[in-house]
Structure formats: C-alpha cells, structure tokens
Structure 1
C-alpha cells in the first residue's frame, strides 16, 4: 500500500469520519487511481475491522464508527470509481423483513457490504416478499440479505424464500439471513444459503458466494 494511503487506512479503522474524506481527496489529488484507493486501502481496512470484531478487540460501536468513516470516504470516491469504470464486486439487495422495523443491524451490514466492494440496494425495513422479488428482478443481484430482530418476524424469512421459489427467482440468488434471534440451524431449516452472526461475517460470506 502506498504511503499516501496509510493515513486513510488508519483513519477508517479509528472511525475518523471527518478525516477519511480528506484523505481520499488527498490520494486522488496525488493521482492515485480510484480503484487502487478502494482495493488496496479501503476494503482491506474494513476487512481488518471485521477481523478485530471477530477477535473481540472491536465491538459494535467501534465497528459502526469505522463503517461510517468508510462511507464518508466512499462519498468522495464513488464518482471517480464510476468515471474510471471500476465495477463493484457484486450486487446485494438487503432489507428487514415484513413486520420488523429495526434497522441498526441492517444498516451496519449495508456499510460492511459496501466496504467489501458491493453495490448495495437497501430496501429499508418492513419489506414485503413482493418488494424483495421486484428488486431482484430489477437489479439482478447475486445476493439477497434479510434481517429480523424479532422472533415474531423470523417466520417472514421463510415466507419470503418460499415466495422467491414460487416467483422463479430463488435459483438466481443466494439468500443470506441474520439478526439477533436468527441461528444457523434456523437458516438451514428455511432454505437460506447462509447465516451470519455479525456484519463482518455477512460481508465475508457474501463475497464467498461469488466464488
């Protein structure tokens, strides 16, 4: 990694939301290509954040402020990525299932997915099976990520997967589920392709689906 990017790398990990965009602009001003800034600095920084979380050295607040710093930097970088023709690694449609209004976990997963290089289509909360299906048809994602924080809304995950099957879109996407009450066993029982206990692992699992 070039020395000009060291500060950006450190400031993403430290959650310096005000400084990260300045670091991105500095790197651009020194003619570092947008794709290099993303792939050799910003994505590895978020991978380290995910690893620190898994190792118990970071907790949700630290992960969240790091992801926000990454997002702030991406705001500056995205137009340059588009202009230089740098494609995202893949597309993810994400939403909290119907009947559930919680979004903190979903938002963190969204930020970590973007930090891993995905284009993320965030449908928000209380997302109906039909809304998921329409977005899949419109955006052609490789991954659909569903969140639930309530035990009472967990069954909507199965309802949505069943609707995918009936609509003929299940074979074209990998379904990833998560949320506080969700378990790997539950994910398997409803026919999901994967389960992630936290945002960092959700991003890693989504990337593994592309292999």
Structure 2
C-alpha cells in the first residue's frame, strides 16, 4: 500500500495533469488507506491548484488548463465529500458563510477552493455558484442567517459590482449583522477598504484564516 506522502504526491500529479479519473482514484485510495480527506485536499489538491494558478499568472498555463485542473479537483473532492460530511457531522459548525462569484463573472476556481476549505474548517457554506446576482447574496444571507457574505471577482469589470453587495446589504438592514469578504485576482486590500468590506482574502488560505479569526 502506498504511503500517505505518496498518495498526496499522486493527488498533486492528478491536478497538474488535469486527470479527473486519476483524481477520483487517488481520493478512493486515500480513503482506503485511512488518509484524512482534509489532508489530501489541503496538502495535495489545493497545493497543486495554487501551483496551477501561479503558472497561469506567469503565462505558462492558459484558462482552459486552469478549468481542467479545477474539474479534476472537483472530481476528487466529490469522492471525498461523504467522508467530509460525516466528519463535519461530528463537529458543530462555527458559522455560516454565503459565497459566490459576482454577477457577470463566470470564473469560479478560486471561489470553489475557498468554499471547500471553509467546509473543511467546520463552516456551513452556502455556495451560490458563479455569475450571481447581487440580490441573491442578500436573499441567501437573510434565509441562512449568514455570518459572512463573500464575493469573488476575477475581472476588473465585474469587481465594481462588489460595491453593490455592500449597498444592498445596507439597504436590507443586514449589513450590521454580517461581515463581508472580497477576493479575486484584481481585488486588493485597498479596494476592500475603499468599498467598506470587512475582509480581503488574498488567497484561499488567507481567506479561511481571516474568517476563522472572526470566530475565535
């Protein structure tokens, strides 16, 4: 039987080779070998996705590669989900996060990683998907009694809509009861400060640690 380290290396390889079947196989192998699914996602799949993201920014990979890598990660996580849910059922959730990619933006890779890592960190995650209407964030925050409303934008043209999230939450009377988080490639701390968002998530790890800090 392969060691935990070998299984995690194989998980990275599956993502970097955009191989859905390999990602599913390594997820099953991890479960059979008693490897914690959280470790496989954080140390294997997510590390490789971050590497793919860096290569994309450096011009070594292109958007279709990034999408293929994300699909491979999703395939692997789908296999792990029942085990993750069983693990989650044993612990109380810390809080509820509503998350989505902003209206007009169809990119969801970074948002998907943040959503997965928040679930692993024992948060209830309401994932609205991509190209999410501003009103949908407000409705979901209301319906789920959300603690955090997070929006991701991957383009400067859609990033401006994050202002509308702040404004509509204020108009609905919810802004004082929720924290807001923004992230995505063109988003910066300066932008978060300018629009009045509570948290800027530079990457998935940063986003999760800052949300965690709210509940400590």
Q: TM-score, normalised by structure 2?
A: 0.71
Tell whether the 8 Å contact from 1:96 to 1:125 is kept in structure 2 after alignment: yes
User: What RMSD, in angstroms, separates the aligned Cα atoms of the two structures?
Assistant: 3.4
Structure ranking higher on relative contact order (CA contacts 8 Å, 6+ apart): 1
Q: d(CA) in 1 for partners of 2:153 and 2:128?
A: 12
Which residue in the other structure is 1:111 paired with? Answer: 112
Which residue in the other structure is 1:158 paired with? Answer: 163
* Match 1:147 to one of 150, 153, 169: 153
How many equivalent residue pairs? 199
* Alpha-carbon shift at residue 115 of structure 1 (Å): 5.3
Which residue in the other structure is 1:9 paired with? Answer: 12
Q: In the alignment, does 2:102 pair up with 1:96?
A: yes
In the alignment, structure 2 segments of 5+ residues that lack a partner are 120-124
Q: d(CA) in 1 for partners of 2:146 and 2:154?
A: 23
Tell whether the 8 Å contact from 2:110 to 2:184 is kept in structure 1 after alignment: no
Which residue in the other structure is 1:81 paired with? Answer: 84
Which residue in the other structure is 2:67 paired with? Answer: 64
Q: d(CA) in 1 for partners of 2:185 and 2:51?
A: 22
Q: d(CA) in 1 for partners of 2:178 and 2:21?
A: 39
Q: d(CA) in 2 for partners of 1:122 and 1:189?
A: 25
Which residue in the other structure is 1:23 paired with? Answer: 26
